[in-house]
Structure 1
């Protein structure tokens, strides 16, 4: 049997060193761990409309008086095991949405958006003693979705035949601080949904939410631990034994007692 020597495995050609690939790098966003944030519940916020038909009827009434409705929603990002998670509301254990809502006709866009975020997520009572009203850092507008008619469908563009869209929804990146207290209405759940779960999952989350991983791909991320140290950065990966999954953080009426069981905690 012949023996293969070490020299026989060596190539006569030198290795090809690729050129640098860091010109015009994306903006780097610092993400803090989910454990840095405190979550609570507050009074129920009943839905304004009992049905989809009623919601579209109210939209039509708004349009007839004030014109196109303006809606703002926030993409709030933290991390768990060095994987980005999106804070998201779940209503009636079925419907998912981002924090935010339509603006009042007289509202300034950013100030009105901050007020809507407060309605959904600002704490009340003792939890809110150290929190200031409208304490949100509004970042880039990552997407615009348009409602061409009084129907449920929205598009990331205005169809060519539409000259008067009925609603414009903007999705803003919200830079979360190092720590924050957040409270969700009792009739809703606040979830931390990993990008892994959202990606290409229109069947569960719909086209707007499942597109969030694409929207966030414009950024690089730094993942910070509880001590404020950078423990990972893009590119990077989570520990091999960790599988990203959605976590229920707060809310859900009587479901609260099942919260720890659902997350596998005591």
Structure 2
């Protein structure tokens, strides 16, 4: 196996600039440092279902009454040491999930999603409305749709050919975080910042939906803003701070210190 030396990867010589390679590229996304955000905890939010079986039973009842269930989750991205990190929840040290949840059957998609995000991440005691205050969320593009063809745990990024009535559709949206924000997580959950390289090709730990996020974000170029508000690196070419290695961080909730988490996956 050929090994690329550190000197070859981080040469002191300037790179050779290729011709422009940005045709049909989405707009560049600006990411702010993890240190810009404030994290806290709020009252416990017990899970609605004591088991996976109970959750699927409730899904079946929803389908019988209202048809396909709509679920919305957000991909919230910031950076640490010039590497993108995704904010996600770990519930009861059992599984990982993105902020969001299923919508009430009669809710507007985007407004209902914002309410779900506030339930999970808004500081307690604050009243949020959609009038531009700090409770507002900038809901971006739909990055993926996952379909549940039956009352089972399996979901697919397509509708199988033999399925005409899927039981649930889960949409993942890109959410542009502002340069600062206060986020609070229920005490029975943990809020994590997980680097993209930890998610990539790691379905064994995170499940197929979360491990696909690096693929979904690969369409964007990033600008990494430092704590002084200046762009410190761009994609490609920015180097992490010397001697630092990005890793998963527990931002709020739970009792374990920052570091390794228990193996688990999202269903």
TM-score normalized by the length of structure 2? 0.86
In 2, distance between residues paired with 1:51 and 1:239? Answer: 43
Question: What is the correspondence of 1:81-230 to structure 2 with a 5 Å cutoff?
Answer: 81-125=81-125, 132=133, 134-230=135-231
In 2, distance between residues paired with 1:217 and 1:196? Answer: 12
- 1:244 is aligned to 246
Matched, 1:54 2:42: no
In 2, distance between residues paired with 1:246 and 1:148? Answer: 33
- 2:233 is aligned to 232
In 1, distance between residues paired with 2:40 and 2:127? Answer: 8
Quote how far apart the aligned CAs of 1:25 are. Answer: 3.0
In 2, distance between residues paired with 1:113 and 1:126? Answer: 18
Question: What is the correspondence of 1:35-54 to structure 2 with a 5 Å cutoff?
Answer: 35-54=35-54
Aligned pairs, number: 241
**Structure 1 residues 188 and 229, CA, compared in 2 at 3 Å: closer, same or farther?**
same
TM-score normalized by the length of structure 1? 0.86
Quote how far apart the aligned CAs of 1:241 are. Answer: 2.0
In 1, distance between residues paired with 2:135 and 2:19? Answer: 46
**Structure 1 residues 209 and 61, CA, compared in 2 at 3 Å: closer, same or farther?**
same
Q: Unaligned 5+ residue runs, structure 2?
A: 1-15, 261-267
Structure with the larger helix share:
1
The structure with the larger Rg is 1
Quote how far apart the aligned CAs of 1:226 are. Answer: 1.1
SS at 2:22 equivalent: coil
In 1, distance between residues paired with 2:111 and 2:171? Answer: 14
Asked if the contact 2:121–2:185 (Cα under 8 Å) also holds between the matched residues in 1, the reply is yes
Asked if the contact 1:27–1:218 (Cα under 8 Å) also holds between the matched residues in 2, the reply is no
In the TM superposition, what whole-angstrom CA distance separates every residue of 1:129-167 from its partner, at most 9, and x where no partner exists?
A: xx9475100000000000000000000000000000000
In the TM superposition, what whole-angstrom CA distance separates every residue of 1:95-126 from its partner, at most 9, and x where no partner exists?
A: 00000000001100000000000000000138
In the TM superposition, what whole-angstrom CA distance separates every residue of 1:181-237 from its partner, at most 9, and x where no partner exists?
A: 000000000000000100000000000000000000010000001111000000023
- 1:66 is aligned to 66
Quote how far apart the aligned CAs of 1:244 are. Answer: 1.8
In 2, distance between residues paired with 1:52 and 1:153? Answer: 12
Asked if the contact 1:223–1:231 (Cα under 8 Å) also holds between the matched residues in 2, the reply is yes
Matched, 1:33 2:33: yes
Asked if the contact 1:127–1:181 (Cα under 8 Å) also holds between the matched residues in 2, the reply is no
In 2, distance between residues paired with 1:133 and 1:68? Answer: 32
Q: Unaligned 5+ residue runs, structure 1?
A: 1-15
